[in-house]
């Protein structure tokens, strides 16, 4: 019986050693899997951060690209140029009618202010205002909004007598309405007579 007990004890010890080795092997495999899972989670977080940064950079690039397009747009500059010439080239016959030319280019509030600032009745005295030079400098505010500084040189005359040329600086706010631009705000920043020094 001792022999059977010794064999049984030997088999039991051998089984425990095998189970112990299997447990240690399984534990090592689980630890490796946990380490790989933690590493994978770190990589996923890192990739999400990189993706977010690249998405943000792309959004900034697109925004800057649209700003650049507005600031260098010949179409917008031409719109401002034409609007100012239609608005500020006038004589006593066309003074009131000029607002009809620009009605679809100016916000109603701008037209109201301009009409309120001048006499709309006809006069017998001949007068005229001619735009001699115009420079437009654009700056984008949003993808559908821009500001412009306009330096306009005009020649005003009354009864055939010309006054000295005058420069006026305007700040203009433009908004895009569909595929068209609208002059939303017009503010005279100042006027001066050119000074030349030889």
Q: Indicate the domain borders of the chain.
A: 1-71, 74-192
CATH number of 74-192: 3.10.450.540
pLDDT at 21 over 80: no
Say what the pLDDT of residue 196 is.
64
Retrieve residue 3's tokens.
């022999």
Say what the pLDDT of residue 179 is.
84
Average pLDDT, the chain: 85
How many other C-beta atoms can be found within 10 angstroms of the C-beta atom of residue 160?
8
pLDDT tens digits for 67-116? 777 787 899 899 999 999 999 999 988 888 888 889 999 999 898 888 87
| Structural Rg of the chain based on CA atoms | 40
Task: Report phi then psi at 117, rounded to 5.
Answer: -85, -10
Say what the pLDDT of residue 122 is.
55
pLDDT at 4 over 90: no
Where is pLDDT greater, at 191 or 118? Answer: 191
pLDDT band at 137, cuts 50/70/90? Answer: very high
**Integer angstrom CA distances of residue 31 from 24, 34, 61, 140:** 10, 5, 44, 57
| The model scores a pTM over 0.85 | no
Q: Please tell me the distance from the alpha carbon of residue 22 to that of residue 124, in angstroms, as a whole number.
A: 113
DSSP, collapsed to helix, strand or coil, labels residue 27 as: helix
- Cβ atoms 166, 154 nearer than 8 A: yes
Positive or negative: CA dihedral 13, 14, 17, 19: negative
pLDDT band at 50, cuts 50/70/90? Answer: confident
Say what the pLDDT of residue 29 is.
81
Place of tokens 């040329």: 165
Instruction: With CA atoms as reference, report the closest residue to 137 among 148, 145, 146.
Output: 148
- Cβ atoms 67, 143 nearer than 8 A: yes
């Amino acid at each position: 019986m001792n022999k059977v007990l010794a064999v049984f004890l030997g088999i039991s010890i051998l089984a425990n050693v095998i189970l112990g080795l299997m447990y240690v092997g399984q534990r090592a495999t689980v630890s490796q899997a946990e380490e790989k899972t933690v590493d994978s989670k770190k990589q996923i977080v890192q990739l999400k951060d990189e993706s977010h940064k690249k998405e943000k950079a792309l959004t900034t690039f697109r925004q800057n690209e649209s700003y650049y397009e507005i600031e260098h747009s010949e179409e917008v500059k031409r719109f401002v140029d034409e609007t100012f010439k239609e608005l500020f080239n006038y004589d006593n016959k066309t003074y009131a009618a000029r607002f009809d030319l620009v009605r679809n280019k100016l916000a109603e509030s701008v037209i109201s202010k301009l009409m309120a600032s001048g006499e709309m009745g006809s006069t017998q005295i001949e007068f005229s205002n001619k735009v001699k030079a115009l420079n437009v400098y654009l700056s984008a505010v949003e993808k559908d909004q821009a500001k412009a500084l306009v330096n306009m040189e005009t020649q005003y005359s009354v009864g055939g007598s010309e006054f000295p040329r005058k420069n006026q600086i305007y700040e203009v706010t433009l908004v895009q309405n569909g595929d068209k631009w609208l002059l939303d705000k017009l503010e005279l920043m100042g006027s001066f007579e050119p000074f030349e020094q030889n």
